[in-house]
A and B are shown apart, each in its own frame.
Chain A
């Protein structure tokens, strides 16, 4: 379903992603792990057509996203690290917007919106403005939105960050259900190792732009001789805390926290 071969991304003289290769099978739940600044988000951006690779090859659902962008875009849904809903619009309007962008006909759109909002238990709230929602509700809505055009793959970039255990649990139940019922491939990043251990069929660990290990959580534990994935992860990537250069995104994120999402 996803095939990455010798993929690299250079920003001026900095190599964010350094010659990585991996593949994800259809219907798999795949965790992409790594410390801050390891290259996770850059990789997701390349997979989802937001960034062009410097070198290497990507195949998503049989197409090359650098060449057949729109075809590739139809085949995946994405939940970004930062919520990308429009706070000033209602739940239905956010969904409607997505449906139009993905070319769904009116009838199909309405049916899909109802089905998915019921699925994430937001149907009763469909007329409410998104800005009245908690972080967990926004995540649920984003998942519903990402699934609207019936993608084969769903990308989730740190989907559970800042969510309480209840909401996290809830969210994973949805995703697992989807994965089982519709054979949707799930590709996610996270800093919570228990989560990866519990949910993922396979994981890959990326550090300093290179993939340093991959396999099932069991295999990684055996390979490192540790009892948990967290320990295995620390063993693989070392205990040094990464100093990530603060970038403009992080500056804006801080502003956002300060102003509670408003300008």
Chain B
């Protein structure tokens, strides 16, 4: 327990100390909210979709979580050579604990990042209809954060240098985000896109979050929660397995 705590604490301390990184990583989600929310808002409303900014907020909250989460997982690549990872790997501690502690820390940071974006959306006029549902929203955020931190860890465990980094951004994070329905409704999509969205695990996170925050879910929150929990569990298992196989 002590060990999980200190691994977790380390991530939190590092996060709180890098003010520049916190502020820097808020730029993109805010830009998305402002530019897309207000830019596409009128068209969306004309098409009978309602308030686009409201629709967008859960998607952008999910976006800031997934970016932060995957990056914190991927940091392990760097850590393998120049960081604590080496020091932790020769310590008399099981790999599983190291992986779990790190993942919990990374996921906490990602969740906090999501909460900050969520809070900022209030400045742009977003309102939560029902505060009683907030804990459920938090649960969805935590699950998204855990899932993608574990995914980042799994990737970092098999990669040996930062060369693949660009690849991961363009061929993993971006598609995961854009195909998750974060920016558009899931109704009446062309078949190919519809299938892609259903395969994308983030879809269920965004959809669930949207269900809680604005009361509009495509699959229904129970199904979202079920699928998301299962996939998160799966990725924690995969991530842990690959992490224990790391050879330096």
Q: Which residues of the other chain, A, contact B160 by a CB distance below 8 angstroms?
A: 248
Within 8 A of B (CB), among A145-172: 145
Q: Which of A93, A96, A97, A103 has the most CB of B within 10 A?
A: A97
Q: Which residues of the other chain, B, contact A69 by a CB distance below 8 angstroms?
A: 92
Which of A70, A145, A248 is within 8 Å of B92, CB to CB? A70
Contacts known (A51-B247, A70-B92, A89-B14); A84 close to B87, Cβ less than 8 A: yes
Q: Which residues of the other chain, A, contact B170 by a CB distance below 8 angstroms?
A: none
Complex contact A50–B13 (CB within 8 A): no
Which of B14, B82, B86, B161 is within 8 Å of A251, CB to CB? B161
CA–CA, A84 and B87, complex, Å: 6
Complex contact A100–B2 (CB within 8 A): yes
Q: Which residues of the other chain, B, contact A100 by a CB distance below 8 angstroms?
A: 2-3, 6
Q: Which residues of the other chain, B, contact A255 by a CB distance below 8 angstroms?
A: 162
Complex contact B162–A84 (CB within 8 A): no
CA–CA, A103 and B91, complex, Å: 10
Interface class of chain B by DSSP:
helix
Q: Digit string of A84-100 for contact with B (CB within 8 Å is 1, else 0)? A: 11101100010011101
Complex contact A84–B82 (CB within 8 A): yes
Nearest A residue to B86, CB-CB: A84
Complex contact B162–A73 (CB within 8 A): no
Q: Digit string of A248-263 for contact with B (CB within 8 Å is 1, else 0)? A: 1101110110000101
Nearest B residue to A263, CB-CB: B78
CA–CA, A101 and B10, complex, Å: 12
Contacts known (A88-B18, A98-B87, A100-B2); A252 close to B78, Cβ less than 8 A: yes
Q: Which residues of the other chain, B, contact A52 by a CB distance below 8 angstroms?
A: 247
CA–CA, A245 and B93, complex, Å: 33
Interface bin, chain B: 20 to 34
Nearest B residue to A52, CB-CB: B247
Say whether B88 faces chain A, with CB atoms less than 8 Å apart. Answer: yes
Contacts known (A69-B92, A86-B14); A101 close to B3, Cβ less than 8 A: yes
Identify the stretch in A24-32, A74-82, A187-195, A210-218 within 8 Å (CB) of chain B at 4 or more residues: A74-82
Say whether A119 faces chain B, with CB atoms less than 8 Å apart. Answer: no
Complex contact A97–B161 (CB within 8 A): no
Complex contact B14–A101 (CB within 8 A): no
CA–CA, A83 and B91, complex, Å: 16
Complex contact B91–A73 (CB within 8 A): yes
CA–CA, A253 and B92, complex, Å: 27
Complex contact B81–A249 (CB within 8 A): yes
Nearest A residue to B89, CB-CB: A50
CA–CA, A99 and B13, complex, Å: 17
Contacts known (A80-B86, A248-B161); A86 close to B10, Cβ less than 8 A: yes
Complex contact B83–A84 (CB within 8 A): yes
Say whether B47 faces chain A, with CB atoms less than 8 Å apart. Answer: no
Complex contact A102–B91 (CB within 8 A): yes
Which of A78, A96, A249 is within 8 Å of B90, CB to CB? A78
A57: shortest Cβ distance to chain B, in Å?
20
Within 8 A of A (CB), among B1-48: 2-3, 6, 10, 13-14, 17-18
Complex contact A103–B13 (CB within 8 A): no
Complex contact B90–A73 (CB within 8 A): yes
Complex contact B92–A73 (CB within 8 A): yes
Q: A71-B92, A93-B10 are in contact. List 17 more A-B contacts (CB 8 A).
A: A50-B86, A50-B90, A73-B91, A73-B92, A78-B90, A84-B82, A84-B84, A84-B85, A86-B84, A88-B13, A97-B6, A97-B84, A102-B92, A129-B17, A248-B160, A251-B161, A263-B78
Taking Cβ atoms with an 8 Å cutoff, the residues of A that contact B are 45, 48-52, 69-71, 73-74, 78, 80, 82-86, 88-89, 93, 96-98, 100-103, 129, 145, 248-249, 251-253, 255-256, 261, 263
The 5 closest A-B pairs by CB, nearest first: A248-B161, A70-B92, A101-B91, A73-B92, A248-B160
Q: List 22 A-B contacts (CB under 8 A).
A: A45-B248, A50-B89, A50-B248, A52-B247, A70-B92, A73-B90, A73-B92, A78-B90, A84-B82, A84-B83, A84-B87, A86-B83, A86-B84, A88-B14, A89-B13, A96-B6, A97-B6, A97-B84, A100-B3, A145-B87, A251-B161, A255-B162
